[in-house]
Amino acid sequence: MEIDLLYQKFKICSGVSTDTRKLSKDCIYFALKGDNFDGNKFVNKAFEGGAKYCVIDDKTAEINTDCILVDDVLTTLQKLATYHRNKINVPIISLTGSNGKTTTKELIYAVLSSEYKVKATIGNLNNHIGVPLTLLRFTEDLDFGIVEMGANHQKEIEFLSRIAQPDYGLITNFGKAHLEGFGGVEGVIKGKSELYDYLKQNKKTAFINSDDQKQVEQIGDYTKVSTFGSYPDNHCLVTYKNANPYVTINYNDKEIKSQLIGDYNYGNIAVAVAIGKYFKVNSDSIKNAIEAYHPNNNRSEIIQKGTTKIILDAYNANPTSMLAALKNLKQLSAKKKFLFLGDMFELGNDAEKEHQEIVNFIESNFEDNIYLIGKNFYKTKTKKSTYKFSTFEDLKEILEDLNFLNSTLLIKGSRGMALERIVDLL
């Protein structure tokens, strides 16, 4: 079916679904395929659940005239999203980066939505399926759409940029994330910078943290740039004040006290401020939006349990974010500190080296109460005072014997480690 004809059907539907367990009445269901599932097999269930149309790519799944047969469901979903994006013509702000994407997206959303009508990526639906679904949620009455883009290989950001066609873009940072897929740190920089490449090629605007020399180098002499940071000649002057424990910044003669921990969040807050200023959001509205934002979903949360303070940062981890979290913990004042660190995934051939470097840093800066969980950390060379557990179940056995009175705990690891389970056991 031609994309314009499909679009006419999409417009009379209540929304888009790719999961028959989460259908809305009169939605259009896209029967996606994966390694372990085939959405074509659930067409009956989709109609029973209220779907108005089903987009399929298996002729045997065609059970009535409301089935729309296409060559490839995923490609069709992506093309429809771009078609819709161009039809509604809403300004799109896209962001990517190794760390802090979702937090930054939510901060930008908080600032802009204080004075504009805005929609943004839900959660971290930021891949080749999530980006199209995000775009298809946008409506023509919006002032802005915010699209988070994630990647673990070269050319993914380039591809997502072609789908979303952003008018504005930013990269939070370049870090040691997904080294296995990107082929090392230089591969990460090249892959994430595909967003800058798109913006340059299409004469769109980039927001650049001038305090991050890697970003400055990657944008080069491109002129459609709005800079922010601590240098006086920036378009937006934002200065870091402290992070003990929460990040506080100065902007426009105002002190903004966030609820985010760690100086690594400075850039994430600063770009939200810069975007707010660029789009003429009142400075008091910017301040109020930043101060009201509270992190959740295991991202840099502070949880108080009696005299125990827990820094829960268990949503994800890579060597860059792990080191940043450890440096932040080091400078915090606390009678006693505990470290519960889980394996960092997707590091490929660098896994052994990167885990050992984290261990070396820990043992040079913390004396005791160090608990490492996972197969990679278990293989590292450690001192006798460092405890290692190959599985979470092994750690569980000793938790109830530990005394956390008047302590600060850091819990951090990759998503697959699910270390937030520690909080439930305390």
Domain boundaries, the chain: 3-72, 89-292, 301-425
Instruction: Read off the tokens for 37.
Output: 């599932």
CATH of 301-425, one of 1.10.260.40, 3.40.50.620, 3.10.620.30, 3.90.190.20: 3.90.190.20
pLDDT band at 25 (very low <50, low <70, confident <90, very high): very high
What mean pLDDT is predicted for residues 340-366? 96
Residue 1 has pLDDT above 80, yes or no: no
Residue 322 has pLDDT above 90, yes or no: yes
Nearest to 212 by CA among 192, 191, 228: 228
What mean pLDDT is predicted for residues 404-418? 95
Compute the distance between CA of residue 169 and CA of residue 226 in angstroms, rounded to an integer: 10
pLDDT band at 296 (very low <50, low <70, confident <90, very high): confident
Flag the least confident range among 109-113, 151-155, 200-204, 271-275: 151-155
Average pLDDT of the chain, as a whole number: 95
- At 152 the pLDDT is 87
* Domain spanning 89-292: CATH 3.40.1190.10: yes
Instruction: Read off the tokens for 40.
Output: 């074509």
- At 298 the pLDDT is 77
Instruction: State phi, psi for 82 to the nearest 5 degrees.
Output: -65, -40
Residue 287 has pLDDT above 90, yes or no: yes
Nearest to 18 by CA among 44, 48, 51: 51
The whole model's pTM is what? 0.91
CA distances, 177 to each of 161, 237, 317, 321, 383 (Å):
20, 29, 8, 9, 27
For residues 361-387, one letter each, b for 16 or more C-beta atoms within 10 angstroms of the residue's C-beta and e for the rest, the string is bbbeebeebbbbbbebbbebebeeebb
What mean pLDDT is predicted for residues 350-357? 96
Tens-place pLDDT, residues 33-44: 988 899 999 999
- At 267 the pLDDT is 95
What mean pLDDT is predicted for residues 46-73? 97
In which residue are the tokens 């892959």 written? Answer: 191
Tens-place pLDDT, residues 231-256: 999 999 999 999 888 999 999 999 99
pLDDT band at 20 (very low <50, low <70, confident <90, very high): very high
**Fold for domain 3-72?**
3.40.1390
Selected residue with higher pLDDT from 271 and 299: 271
The rounded percent of the chain whose pLDDT value lies above 70 is 100
What mean pLDDT is predicted for residues 263-270? 94
- At 148 the pLDDT is 98
Q: Classify residue 337 by burial, with Cβ atoms within 10 Å: 0-12, 13-18, 19+.
A: buried
- At 33 the pLDDT is 94
Tens-place pLDDT, residues 142-198: 999 999 999 989 999 999 999 999 999 999 999 888 888 888 889 999 999 999 999
Cβ neighbours for 386, distance < 8 A, ≥ 6 positions apart:
359, 362, 363, 370, 372
Instruction: Read off the tokens for 176.
Output: 């040691």
Quick check: do 89-292 and 301-425 share a fold?
Answer: no
Which string of DSSP letters, residue by residue, matches 358-415?
A: HHHHHHHH--S-EEEESHHHHTS---TTEEEESSHHHHHHHHTT---TTEEEEEE--G
Q: Classify residue 115 by burial, with Cβ atoms within 10 Å: 0-12, 13-18, 19+.
A: middle
What mean pLDDT is predicted for residues 367-378? 96
- At 177 the pLDDT is 84
- At 182 the pLDDT is 86
3-class DSSP assignment, residue 78: helix
What mean pLDDT is predicted for residues 364-386? 95
